[in-house]
Amino acid sequence: MITCKVCGNQEFHGVLFCGECGSQLAFAPDQKVDTLVYPNQIRGLNVDISNTIPKKLLEERDFILYYAESEEALDLPVQNEFSIGRLVEGQVIAPDVDLNKYEAYHLGVSRLHATIRIDPQQNKVFVIDQGSANGTFVNGYEIPANSEVPLNHGDVLTLGKFSLKVILPSEL
């Protein structure tokens, strides 16, 4: 059997499209991440990032999350997998990225909300919702918990009500 990378559904070898979510399973074109592409009307957040993101960051990083409200890029650790959430006193597992300074609590971000995984070989980035209370959304569409959903350049990633713009400097 083969496993759909988007929804985890199992299909027979030779099946070309996932029967559950419709994603292409084999022979997909390589140059672009073949994934959920969303209607333009809710893409939104078309901001000019040339002045607000340090050039150095764009040169050094594969992946940037940009918060349009405060016009800044989040401070992300330099590693290929990290969790995002909000740190609460006494919490056993702390998230790698703490969003407390952005009023995360009021925006419905869970303590361990989501995980980002970067695959530098394939130049792909995935988000995994960790069973958050208020859900994770890509371009306004709720994604299922505990499964990898690819992120494209320009996508809007929303944790609860906290919206971030996905920037892949390689695509700029």
Partner 1 sequence: MPEKTDFYRRLNIGTGASEEAIKKAYRLAVKKAHPDINKNEGATQLFLDIQEAYQVLSNPSQKDNYDSGRDPGGSTPNILTHIEYSQNALVELDESQVIYALVDILATEETQDKSNLPMNISLVVDNSTSMAGARLDMLKVAIKEIIQDLGEDDKVSLISFNDFAKVLLPSQSQPPIRQIESSVNDFFAEGGTEIYQGLETAYNEITKSMTRNYVNHIILITDGHTYGDEDSCLSLARMAAEEDIGISGMGIGIEWNDAFVDQLCALTGGQSQFVQDPKTIKDFLGQIITSLKQSDTRRVTLDMLPAPEVKVLSAFRVLPEALPLPLQDTYSLGILKKDTPHRILFEFLIDPIPGKLDRAIIASGEFTLKRTGKDLTIPFTLERKLVSDPEQLEPPIPEVIRAISHLAFYRLQEKAQHDVAVGNPGAAYQRLMNLSSHLMAKGEDALAKIAMNEAQYIKSHNNFSPTGKKELKYGTIHLMLPEKT
Residues in contact with partner 1 by the rule CB under 8 A: 1, 11-24, 26-27, 36-39, 141-142, 144
Quick one: 23 or 163, whose CB is closer to partner 1? 23
| Cβ count near 102 (within 10 Å) | 18
Q: Taking the complex as a whole, how short is the minimal distance between the CB of residue 142 and partner 1, in angstroms?
A: 8
Q: How many CA atoms lie within 13 A of 105 on its CB side?
A: 4
Place of tokens 């959920």: 36
CB closer to partner 1, 11 vs 119: 11
3-state secondary structure at position 58:
helix
Closest distance of CB 26 from partner 1, Å: 8
Output the CA torsion sign for 152, 155, 45, 166: negative
Nearest CB to partner 1, comparing residues 71 and 142: 142
Tokens 């970067």 belong to residue: 118
Burial class of residue 136, CB neighbours in 10 A (0-12, 13-18, 19+): buried
Closest distance of CB 5 from partner 1, Å: 14
Min dist. Cβ of residue 6 to partner 1 (A): 8
Closer by beta carbon to partner 1, 39 or else 90? 39
